[in-house]
Amino acid sequence: MAAADPRNSVPPARVTSFYGFVAAVAALALLVAAGPLAALPDRVAALPVAFWTMAALAVICDARPFVPPGRRQPSAVFPSTCFTFAILLGWGLGPAVAVQTVAVVVSGWRMGHAGWRSGFNAAQYACALAAAAAVTGLGPGGIFEGGHLGWRDVLAVGGAATAWFVANYGLVSTAIRLRFGGRWWPGVRSGLGYELISTGSLLLLAPVLVAAARASAALIPLVLVPLFAVYRMAHLAAEQEQLGALDPLTGLPNRKALLAEVAEQVHLHAERAARGDQDAHLALLLIDLDRFKNVNDALGHAVGDRLLVEVSARLAGAVGDRDLLARLGGDEFAIVSTGLTGVDAARETAERLVAALAEPVALDGLPLDVGGSIGIAIYPEHGEDFATLMRHADVAMYDAKQRSDTVAVYAAESDHNSAERLGLLADLRRVLESGPAGRDDGRVAGGVRGGDGAALPSALAPAVAGRGGAGGSTGGSTRWGARRRRERPGQAHPDELIHRIVTAADPIRRRAAASGAGPEQPVEPGGGATEADSGTGPEPGRGYAEPAGRPAGPDEPGDPGEITMYYQPQVAIATGEVVGVEALLRWRHPRRGMVDPEELIRVAEQSAVMRLLTRRVVDDVVEQLAKWSAAGITLRAALNVSVRDLHTGEIADQIADRLARFGVRPERLQLEITEGALMADPRRVLATISRLHGIGVAIALDDFGTGYSSMQHLRRLPLSEVKVDRSFVLGMVEDADDAAIVRSMIELAGALGLRVVAEGVEDERTWRLLHAAGCDVAQGWFYARPMPAEELAAWLARYRPLRPAAREAESRPPHIR
């Protein structure tokens, strides 16, 4: 980005410190050079031709110094350095300072320097020459006095060159830091290498020039050849650096240049913020073209490259003069917009970019419609360095794509890959790779183990077996997919004070705590709850209430760092018999406590950890089925699988292997798939589902009504069940539209011969509406909460089937019965 040289002006906030430093350097230069310059008129007549030749070349060469393009550091190459340092070695400080001052005035005039700037340059050169003269004074004498140069002379010349470089570079770097702000050492280090090569070469060439002058003044012009080589070296180095900062296709700055620009602008805007300026905001806009891959695939990469060149030209015309447009690679562009007053100004820039991309691009008579998604990150609200701003702009850009929008500003809630979540993902991987604790054949002395490793008391086995047989064909549906559940009484907070506050504020918790209901104290169905107070008392049909404030023991499910499965019963509405359970994934993190299942799945779904998680859940559930069978409990389990699992098809082989290993019949396992998974890749998903159906595993369509279901899906897929999403069921009582939708789903599924399961049944009124609509199965807090495997066995032993007809009879007045 072309910009006027900012060093000709000084910000008001830095005038005092900067000009104070300039005045101090000028005073020091007068102090060290005044004496030698005062004696110079008496020596002019005695100066040889060699001196005048060097002086003339110094002034002529500085009339056209080499300034590397795009650099904002004081890195111009001034050839006069070679001649004035040689004059210092041959004729002393006075002549060298005089010639250097004239060369500085000429170069300043040619380069348009402000007067104060040329004055500072002359003063800092005088100080550098004085430092070098002080070192040469340590040698045996002047090197033009004849005789052989000894090692002390050589060391003195090397030391003088070093002193010149340190003094000059230190003074200039300090001035730049005072002008631009920021830390001193990073600024010094950034340009040190370049200065060592360019200026160092000129200084080391000076002794060679002196040696040539001792032989003949006619040899001095020959030094122009190596000087030209130095000039070309600096030019080529600058060209290489410039090419390294440019995109070869579009000619725009690349990521490297973008990083440097953002780093510099962050410092400048930090100064503005410190002064209280309104335009102290910086925006990083990230643009990703839409449908560009389609152009490459259909028309070839040559046409795609031409399209990128045209798009870059349009974007360049839409950005402001102070903005930097860069191409990051592929179809990604970035813009640094400076001097903004806030996010609204950044949005205005984004809208101009959107308008520039709105018109189709005509290539070979073919109009190509290429839009773009733009993500915006603002300094300092969304980050204070390039890496953070870039990542947040990337998050915003993908957020815009997911929302089918064109522009999005970074929001923390859209950042699904924060450092915290990456750490959570790493912890999840470690937990999964460590394997479940205590996995064995399911038999223990005196009892049976549940799927989470907890032992079932032997006394429970007969009761459980009898209850399982009484229910006839007790089936189950085991779901491990993440679904947020309503918090219910008995789930104690680890902080006792918080638990007491929550219990006091919640009437259900108060009643549960007052009743003292514990693991061995069942709450009988119909325990005083009616339609009117079903939300404030024990829920009808609920065979077990969690104890209030019961802390998790060291051997219970939910140990820190352990993945466990909780199970929620599913009940046939007409008969009240338990026909299944839904399994829910639980992970108690060592530091975070119980991790939100939705967050857990969201973190795992975008990585290979999902494969490990699926494998672990399949193993746990199939093994639990075998253990329940050993205890006399016959259940069918259903697993909710992700899109990644259905795409690979590996899950079919894994399930077949586990069923055979644990001796579980295939019809006792059911997989739940979502409508979104169907639409992601219908061909591959259908192939995987067909293999599972061939094995004998039942298939259920989950979250029915929330996605893309159609008659075609229901007709083509080998389904046995549909699950009505809880978002519709929860609103049935209050919302007539929700009730109508649920009834329509039940009728449609019934016409196709599919079983219907309603999720989220929270109260008796919803239960009755579902029964009236002909729904087959219900699950929710009306019946029971999710619970560990051993608690489920205890719950089954105590559960009494709740039938709608019986419930209606109980609710009638005695004279009507």
- Alpha-carbon distance of 127 to 132, in angstroms, equals 9
Three-class SS string for 313-333? HHHHHHCCCCCEEEEEECCEE
- Alpha-carbon distance of 242 to 394, in angstroms, equals 26
Query: Cβ distance 718 to 745 under 8 Å?
Result: no
Q: How many helices (H) and strands (E) does the chain have?
A: 29, 19
- Alpha-carbon distance of 208 to 133, in angstroms, equals 18
Residue 805 phi/psi, 5° resolution?
A: -65, -45
Query: Cβ distance 285 to 353 under 8 Å?
Result: yes
759 is catalytic: yes
- Alpha-carbon distance of 246 to 194, in angstroms, equals 19
> Is the peptide bond between 522 and the residue preceding it cis, with omega within 30 degrees of 0?
no
Burial 738-756 (b: 16+ CB within 10 A, else e): bbebbbebbebbbeeebbb
Per the listing, tokens 């030391």 go with 159
- Alpha-carbon distance of 761 to 667, in angstroms, equals 26
- Alpha-carbon distance of 655 to 692, in angstroms, equals 8
**Closest-CA residue to 79 (of 202, 196, 163, 168):** 202
Query: Cβ distance 585 to 568 under 8 Å?
Result: no
Three-class SS string for 161-215? HHHHHHHHHHHHHHHHHHHHCCCHHHHHHHHHHHHHHHHHHHHHHHHHHHHHHHH
- Alpha-carbon distance of 90 to 157, in angstroms, equals 11
Catalytic residue among 577, 672, 759, 764: 759
Query: Cβ distance 395 to 284 under 8 Å?
Result: no
DSSP annotation of 813: -
Determine the residue type at 17.
S
Instruction: Give the residue numbers annotated as catalytic, written as ranges.
Output: 759
